[in-house]
Amino acid sequence: MTMKNFTTLFALLFVSVIAFGQRTTGLNSTSASSVNQAGAAKAFGLSVVKSYFESNCPSVYEKLAQNVYDVKPQILSPSTITSRPITGIRKTDFCANTPLKDKTTSWTTYTTNYEPEIVDHTQFPTRYPRTHQIFLQNGVQLRQGDFFFDGAVLKQNGVNLFNNPSAIQFVVRKNSRNVFEIIMITLP
């Protein structure tokens, strides 16, 4: 191999490595952004769940969107989802019943027994197909930037601490102020 051929080959290899690095860097920054958003959504969801353990229901109420979808599970027929303005939901009614079986249960007990998860709008249909189907039957579809928080995922041998686990399963979305809020939940 001549020096000229070696130099040409080295230059091509160098350019390929740089181009490949730029492509993978672009992918990594995109996926890193998605991971950051999912992490922020999960932290938001955990703050909601923690509020129940701190007997701070007003904090949960304040995290509801101005128009919140209310999921009403039905035992013998399909669930219904209706959108209600937050003004139609009295804080005292919302906070009247805690979803916890025992109000003295600690946050530490929750973290010992549960492994909450967060899924984005693309993962939701395959991870939660039954819930996704209920949403579709009611004309509701998650969009980009929406996350489904499931705080009711029990660890192996975990103990259920909730009367109403659906109170810790909800959809979050960033509002116009770029702050997460609950847009869909089972309301009392």
pLDDT confidence tier of residue 73, bands split at 50, 70 and 90: low
What is the band of 40 on the pLDDT scale with cuts at 50, 70, 90?
Answer: very high
N- to C-terminal Cα distance for the chain?
Answer: 78
Which has more confidence, 107 or 93?
Answer: 107
Residue 62 pLDDT greater than 60, yes or no: yes
Judge whether residue 120 has pLDDT over 90.
yes
Domain of residue 20, residue span = 3-185
Over residues 1-13, mean pLDDT: 38
- Mean pLDDT on 162-180: 91
Is 146 a residue whose pLDDT tops 90? yes
Task: Give me the number of domains the chain comprises.
Answer: 1
Measured CA to CA, the distance from residue 47 to residue 181 in angstroms comes to 11
Q: 3-class SS at 69?
A: strand
Distance (Å, rounded) from C-alpha 115 to C-alpha 104? 20
Helical (H) or strand (E) element with 89: none
Judge if pTM exceeds 0.85. no
How far is the C-alpha of 188 from the C-alpha of 171, rounded, in Å?
16
